[in-house]
Structure 1
Amino acid sequence: MRLIKFILALTVVLLSGYSLITGEYGSLPYTQMLLGLMLLVMGMSEMQENRKVIAILLYLAGSFSLFVSVYILFI
């Protein structure tokens, strides 16, 4: 879980930095999708540590982020 969180976080930071430096904002929906996946993975790890309230909040935030990114990409 820790490695997956690290890879997702690094990818989000790199894509965000690329968008910020170049002014190209076409990659932002993909960045948001990866951020949503990262929040879901964080929710899974929090659920394993029996922090259910934080896990549920992370699931909700991740699901909303994924919904918005898919909405932006396909509609």
Structure 2
Amino acid sequence: MKILRLILAIIVVAVSSYGLTTGNSEVLIPYALLFLGLMLLVTGITEFKERRKANAIILFIVTGFSFFVAAYTF
């Protein structure tokens, strides 16, 4: 799970940086939000497995919001 979270974090940073440097941020932001939501989902599952349910619930709520905003901007 740590490797998957790291890969997703690198993808989010790469897509966001590319969007900011090229000026195409309005096109790439939904993809960055989608990968950010996936990263938060993986983090929430990890927190849930470690018996930190309060943190996991908050992460799941933020994941849902991130997916909603990504779907709305597509």
Fold-level similarity (TM above 0.5): yes
Shift of 1:62: 0.6
Identity of aligned residues (%): 45
Amino acid at match of 1:10: I
Large movers: runs of 4+ above 6 Å: none
Gaps of 5+ in 2: none
TM (norm. structure 2) is 0.95
Gaps of 5+ in 1: none
Root-mean-square deviation over aligned CA pairs: 0.6
Task: Give, in whole Å, the separation in 1 of the partners of 2:28 and 2:13.
Answer: 12
Q: How many residues align?
A: 73
Whether 2:36 is the aligned partner of 1:35: answer yes
TM (norm. structure 1) is 0.93
